[in-house]
Chain A
Amino acid sequence: MLKKFIHTILLTSTLLLGTSCNKWLELAPQDGIIRQEFWKTKEDIQSAVVGIYSSMLTDPLVNNLFIWGELRADMVAPGFIIQFNESNLMTNEILSSNPLTSWRPIYKTINYCNTVIEFAPQVEDPTLTTEQRNAYLAEAHAVRGLMYFYLLRIWGEVPLKLTPTSSDATLEQLPKNTKEEVYNQIIADLTFAEANAVSTYEPNNPFSKQDKGRITKYTVNAIQADVYLWNEKYEDCLTACNKIIASGKYRLVPGTTQASWFGDLYLEGNSEEGIFELQFDNQKLNSFFPLFIDANRRFIAADKVLNDMYTIDFGDANNKDIRGDMGSVRASDGAIWKYVGWTGDDARTLNQSYAHWIVYRYADILLMKAEALAWTNRGQEALDIVNTIRTRAHALVTSSQDPDPTSALDVSNYILAERAREFAFEGKRWFDILRHAKRENYKNLSILLDMVVESAPADRQQTILNKFRDFNSHYLPINDYELNTDKNLVQNPFYIK
């Protein structure tokens, strides 16, 4: 009898205690939020969009944008403790095992964009207008367009991944798309973004930081201008540039004194010249301190930057291009100064290393316009723009050229040289050189080869010259990791022999 009682007690208590533990059977995480519960309100979309920008600040994207945009060109020289992979990129000894050939930092941001593009339309929030939703989508499309534009310029042919990788089921093995397909996708993204992006986030605030740090209609126009110029669509480029100029929202930071110019444009950032800047601050530092100013700095400016590009007036120290000594470079030690200058001769400390990464600024629009003008038989207008830029910068007469306005090539070569001075170390030099060299089916390959003759290490100059004669070598190889995980990818033929 007692046994039966005990059995009853046990059975009852098991039933009572066991059923209260239903959370043990719950699959959703207790300490996070899942997708099905996330995409509910417009605030959710906003935080996902902010996530896109924040992903661009995540290392090593900006670090790599500098490396990809500068190392293969001629303005950066190895510093004290340059890394092996970086020096191999500089000498064009690039293997697919080099981690700098990995495109993952870019695709990571693309995945953030894809997530917004896929799920934002599913949000059912009565307070969310179609216009507002489309504006958020425009930001995602614009950033995705920009990221694919980097991929197009660095790797040439890349796979178009347009849906988010949100679960194991959505992992895909994609083949490469052609340059043409990538280009068309960029244009499609930018067209949507232009139609739906806002022109300002704070209509009553002329100094709106959001307008510099988030995508506006004019940011989209800036990317469009760059993309069209890359594909030699000059009229479209001009249209895009003119939209920005006509907005009256931007102007060049005056070069009255070097200190005020440097302070507004680079030290503070978000100047009236800035169009799109990645907003590092004291909460999120950039990675430039060890790169440019630490005792073991990895990169310094090449000798020719001051000597041959900005040139030097040995007679009068005060007569100088404000973009040269103490603008882009500190002459006394060749430090790349743009991102590390603080006050006077003093550099930023590690805690102050939050100079913005300027993706586009007004001077860029003007010079892109000049380049498009040069190639549409309006050389004189182009030269006038170049002179505007040079006057602002107090450029020295020794760095000026006097090209024939009717010769598109001469004018555009001068613009190339001016862009080197204006955008020194802003991650544009290699793309500029490549764009000029590849124009009209590589008619001007000599631009690239001349650069190599000057900047290649003496003992492998001839090898590097011959490598650059193979156009496939202008694009990076697909990293080994990607090749191993995605069997549909085919390596750039230059790198398999």
Chain B
Amino acid sequence: MKKINFTNSSLFLVVLLLVLLGGCKEEPIVYNTTEDVNITGYFEKYPEEFSEFKKILDITGTSGFLQAYGSYTIFAPNNAGVEAFLKAKGKNSVEELDVEELKNIVKFHLLEDTISTPKFTDGKLPRLTMYGQYLTTGAQNSNNVTRITVNRQANVVKPNVLVGNGVIHVIDNVLQPASQTLAQMLESNPNYSIFTQALKATGLFESLNKIPATNTDVETQWLTVVAESNQTLASKGFNSFDALKARYSHTGNPANPADSLNLFVKYHILKEAKYLADIVSVSSHATLAPLEIVTSSLLGQRVLLNDAVFNGVHEPGVEINRQSSDLSARNGVLHDSQGHFVIKVRKPQRVDWDVAAECSDLAKIPGVLRQRSLGTGAPAYNDSFAPRGFTELNDLRSPGVTGIGYEYGTSGSLYGAAWWGDFLTIPLGGPNRNPWIELRSPMIIKGTYKVWINYRSRAQSANNSQNLNEVSIDGVPLPRLMNFVQGRPSGTEAELEGQGWKAYTAVASSNHSGRLVGTIEIKTTDRHWVKFTTINGTQNTNHLDMIQFIPVSENQLYPKFHMDGRKLGPNGEPMQ
């Protein structure tokens, strides 16, 4: 046999390896983290749609930064849209347009956030454009085809194109920022000539004529005007500015901030830029008139202002005319009111708030209110109204650790003296009970009130239960703490009142006590949130019967409240 030559076989192996390995291709190394294009890259990719807009970006020098990383939303007009815009301007190409104007146009199409269509509402987008004006969205239907519209100027033809540095919405026209301020907009519309005159006479015209970018007063940068047209005013007998002035200007000088005409006009100017979608989203709005608010509600499709219930009486509000509202100005929004509305002068009025009855969340449960208890006793709280996990109801807020009970009875030391024989039972105090709870009051007219918390004192266990609470109204704490465990001391009515205690029930009961937690100035006529925050102790049996807001000048002790619902005076006579 032949001897194997070691060198030869090694050589053979090396050659074999070379042949085999030579077949492997070089692995391509990926230098990019993603294949996604950025905004500019997307426009370059589809020149048949975006060559014109890309040209605008190049001229204005914005192509570069839209190719860099960031998070933007851009409304990109397609070529047809740019052409339509040029035609309207009487130009042949984008190069003929002024560069500064083009820059503004680009800024107006660009937002520094990623906003996709599910976030669109009937009103403005949640962010300002880089130009400094809001864009509005909506939807329009023609011939059974619905399109999303932007600023009422363009339709979205392709929404939500996701690219590396944001979102592109393709639109079919160029958006143009509003050119008029609120003041100019009103002045140029002859329908508002009387209202405009009033603005000028009161000096508010100037406040409405400022551009946000140069207005240093944050309070009035963005404003909303709810204007009354000449027809609306005429329907109330005001055929001219003089008639309006004669009726309201009691000082004769509308420029005086205390003048009623001045306040009338200020009452029509809401703070911040609020489209109708914003107006119906919250129930009250601050105006330029100091501490006067306008309330709003949506009834079907109708937007109503100041439609409210005071002490059980419905005061019909005025409707906003949708067609001539939601008009964007450089510094805000203009709406048109179909009715005449003024500040109502109201005197502070006592509010005897039966917390159970005036909590709509409870009242809607059938067969409960003033008929049977709901969730009494510790184990049932989780299934009682406002169960565990609820964080916000119409008239009630809590962190939702425990529910809230409602107790009703016709006799006995618990119910026999309580107003209407019922109360809310609110477990309070951490860690296994709600650390705080908030209840929403009925309408309270602005003014200065003493606040009484009327409850049935009860310690859950004989010796050591405590439940000491701080009461605050719209976040303003009242000076005196109250303890659901503690009853009133003995003494005469006058002595007790001096110490901030009273017996509030018509049926004598040493357990049912009213506690004065302080005096507060209610600044706006509105519904307010009253909050109980536990400072010490924890227990379930906090029996809250009623809360009273009594004007400081009025009698704090009477009427007293009977378990059958009556309100009685010192000699047992009925009282209101």
Contact = CB atoms under 8 A, between A and B. Distances in A.
A217 B369 CA distance: 50
A333 interface: yes
A494 B139 CA distance: 12
Contact of A470 (B118, B145, B383, B391): B145
Interface residues of A, number: 45
Interface of B: 116-118, 120-123, 137-141, 144-148, 155-160, 277-278, 280-281, 298, 300-301, 322, 364-369, 371-372, 374-375, 383-391
B538 to A, nearest CB: 21
Interface stretch (A25-33, A153-161, A309-317): A309-317
Contacts of A37: none
A308 to B, nearest CB: 11
Given A459-B122, A461-B122, A497-B157, A470 B144 contact: yes
A443 interface: no
A295 B388 contact: yes
Nearest to B139: A466
A1 interface: no
Interface in A296-324: 296-297, 303, 306-307, 312-314, 316-318, 320, 324
Contact of A459 (B146, B148, B280, B375): B280
Tell me which of A93, A461, A467, A473 has the highest count of chain B C-beta atoms within 10 A of its own C-beta.
Answer: A461
A331 B366 contact: yes
Nearest to B326: A462
Nearest to B370: A314
A469 B156 CA distance: 17
B389 A459 contact: no
B408 to A, nearest CB: 12
A497 B147 contact: yes
A244 B369 CA distance: 45
Nearest to B301: A453
Nearest to A317: B367
B258 to A, nearest CB: 36
A65 B390 CA distance: 27
A80 B117 contact: no
B118 A88 contact: yes
B383 A332 contact: yes
A333 B118 contact: no
B141 A466 contact: yes
Contacts of A15: none
Given A331-B364, A332-B385, A459-B122, 8 more contacts: A80-B391, A95-B118, A296-B389, A306-B366, A466-B146, A468-B146, A469-B144, A473-B146
A404 B114 CA distance: 54
A471 interface: yes
Contact of A333 (B138, B281, B322, B387): B387
A91 B123 CA distance: 15
B366 A320 contact: yes
Contact of B137 (A295, A324, A453, A463): A463
A103 B298 CA distance: 37
A333 B140 contact: no
Contacts of A465: 139, 301
Nearest to B120: A463
B454 to A, nearest CB: 25
Given A80-B389, A95-B160, A467-B146, A459 B281 contact: yes
Contact of B281 (A458, A473, A494): A458
B298 A458 contact: yes
A453 B322 CA distance: 15
Most interface-central of B116, B139, B147, B155 (chain A CB within 10 A): B139
B389 A297 contact: yes
Nearest to B159: A497
Given A80-B389, A312-B366, A463-B138, A333 B277 contact: no
A273 interface: no
B118 A93 contact: yes
A332 B365 contact: yes
- What 4 A-B pairs have minimum CB-CB distances, sorted nearest first? A317-B367, A470-B146, A93-B118, A466-B139
Contacts of A494: 146
Nearest to A295: B389
Contacts of B145: 470, 493
B364 A307 contact: yes
A496 B158 contact: yes
A345 interface: yes
A325 interface: yes
Contacts of A333: 383, 385-387, 390
A35 interface: no
Contacts of B369: 314
Contacts of A461: 122, 280, 298, 301
A91 B120 CA distance: 11
Contacts of A4: none
Contacts of B300: 453-454
A460 interface: yes
Contacts of B158: 496-497
Contacts of A91: 118
A470 B146 CA distance: 5
Interface in A431-489: 453-454, 458-471, 473
Contacts of A318: 367
Nearest to B386: A333
A252 B386 CA distance: 35
